[in-house]
Amino acid sequence: MDTAAFGARMRDLLTGHALTTLIGIGHRTGLFDAAAAQGPATSSELADRAGLDERYVREWLGAMTTGGLFELADDGRFVLPESHAVFLAGARASNIGPSAGLLQRLDAVSPQVERCLVDGGGVPYAAYAALGPMGEHWRHIYDDHLVSGFLGAVDGLDARLRAGARVLDLGCGSGHAANLMGREYPRSEITGLDLAPEAIAQAEAERAAMGLSNVAFVVADAADLAPEPAHDVITAFDAVHDQQDPAGVLRRIRAALAPGGVFVMVDVNSTGSIADDLGDPNAAVLYAISLLFCVPTSLAAGGTGLGAMWGREAALAMLADAGFDDVEVLPAPRPQNVVYVGRI
């Protein structure tokens, strides 16, 4: 890339950052949903629809339209084309609004991470929890893909869950996956386990609102997972690489499976090598999330700082060390993830 082209790319990066911030604002204030649901609008019409201040909405539309997210119709109205709304509106996994919000929250913690670069150490999970729930993007991913995508990819698992199984969701966060499993598989007993009390409180509130009697949540450290009661199915969605001692937790998981049990580990799809990740369009954002969240939270807890980009080879080696000898690696319904299936 020559100097001029690289300069243009740097300008585009700044534009992307600014637009990401404004996408987060548009997502949370309902501007995209208002534009998608009711069609082309002037700034006043869109502000009225969303119940917002027109002066600010006009400036937001200025950035959105010159940035290419909205289009300007001949009558001066602002249009969010359906092909754009797929990525900006609606409670669906393709909506990047929640991910924009996540990046904004990580920005808020970046001064603390910056200090870690100088002094070492980490940033405790509580610093992130104080900014509010971070898992909205995963909620939509679970709504769209949990049953048919992640679980459906595993041979025989859907039938087993429908027949009734004892399931543990380890590192369940705010519990949406566990609650969806409880609703979809009423004969199964689901336990969600997480270290974070505020996440478990949200999980329990959602369970109660969904009226589920086959789901329970516990605040516990996965490092203390006991072999009894044994589980038929253990799931870990985006949770193993964040553990203080991932290898130890995998051994605990292996020991907590009943004979014939299955472990489904959904984790980040990476190679473990920066050189091999070069062509992956998702890699830079995933490394950034790893830097701003996964590594500092692990190091703050005295962990290994494994990071999200540990890669398939390291994951398979750690699974093998834990006693999962013959692990299947399946594609996930989204390219950022991969599904590891260990059976005993």
One of 36, 57, 89, 196 touching ligand SAM (CB under 6 A)? 196
At 83, phi and psi to the nearest 5? -65, -20
Shortest Å distance, C-beta 242 to ligand SAM: 4
State yes or no: residue 171 binds ligand SAM (CB under 6 A): yes
Distance (Å, whole) CA 226 – CA 257: 10
Q: Which helix (H) or strand (E) holds 175?
A: none
At CB < 8 A and 24+ separation, what contacts does 323-328 make? 323/251, 323/254, 324/250, 324/254, 324/263, 328/154
State yes or no: residue 195 binds ligand SAM (CB under 6 A): yes
State yes or no: residue 219 binds ligand SAM (CB under 6 A): no
Report which of 32, 15, 25 is spatially closest to residue 66, judged by C-alpha positions: 15
Distance (Å, whole) CA 55 – CA 47: 9
Amino acid in position 1:
M
Binding flags for ligand SAM, 75-114, as an x/- string (CB under 6 A) = ----------------------------------------
One of 25, 86, 223, 317 touching ligand SAM (CB under 6 A)? 223
At 169, phi and psi to the nearest 5? -105, 110
Q: Which residue has the tokens 């603390």?
A: 112
Residue with Cβ nearer ligand SAM (72 or 91): 91
State yes or no: residue 246 binds ligand SAM (CB under 6 A): no
Shortest Å distance, C-beta 102 to ligand SAM: 10
Number of residues that bind ligand SAM (CB under 6 A): 20
Segment near ligand SAM (CB under 6 A); pick from 116-124, 148-156, 195-203, 321-329: 195-203
Residues 122-161 that bind ligand SAM (CB under 6 A): 125, 135, 138
